[in-house]
Amino acid sequence: MIALFRKELASFFSSLIGYLVLIVFLLATALFLFVFDGDLNILNSGYANIDGLFILAPWIFLFLIPAISMRFYSEESKSGTIEMLLTMPISDRSIVLGKYFAGLLLLVFALVPTLLYYITVYSLGSPVGNIDTGATIGAYIGLICMGGMYLAIGTFISSLTDNQIIAFILTAVSCFVLYIGFDFVAELLPSLSFLSSLGIQEHYASISRGVVDTRDLIYFFGFIVLFLYFTTLSIAKKRK
């Protein structure tokens, strides 16, 4: 698994994908948080927080994470290298985890530079350090959990098709529905308000308040494990 993990991570940065993910994410967040006028602009808000980052990130992830995951298996199926991969002395689970953790690490790489936003607000606060560090840490944990779930969904969908565009679109739509679809239905039909607890947004918002509830962690990890398990089954079918 380690060898495949390194291979996948190297492939991200030997092509434009890895760099584009980092550049697009950082450029988009920087523009909205520091340049464009609006409610998300930190300098105009008058408050020492980086909440705008955690409002923007889920929507940016809807495009960036499918761009990461779409090539996992779709590209290999189309190029025919999937057969070579499946003949290697490595289990299906190791294949899935190797690719998944490489994508997850790329996601973490994209988030690390955003700590500069926290440092900037921490320094500019009045008094210095006037920022809710606990809530910020919780929000970062929520972002990683949510991004990990998006990635697990994309990993599974990529294993179902050899067309990267289809994998991208289906992943983006699926993540969008899971993020906000249940809340939309719950608002339209108050009798089904319980559906909001099935959506990503409620659990992400809960963690972002700085209270890391085990129920929220179980929700994210449960879905991640479920979709990775589905991916393993899909890969196993390709061996037959």
pLDDT tens-place string over residues 27-80: 988 888 888 887 788 777 767 678 888 999 999 999 999 988 988 877 777 666
**Three-class SS state of 127:** coil
In this prediction, residue 50 carries a pLDDT of: 84
DSSP 230: H
Nearest to 70 by CA among 219, 144, 173, 212: 173
Give me the residues of the chain with pLDDT under 50, please: none
Phi and psi at 72, nearest 5°, equal -50, -55
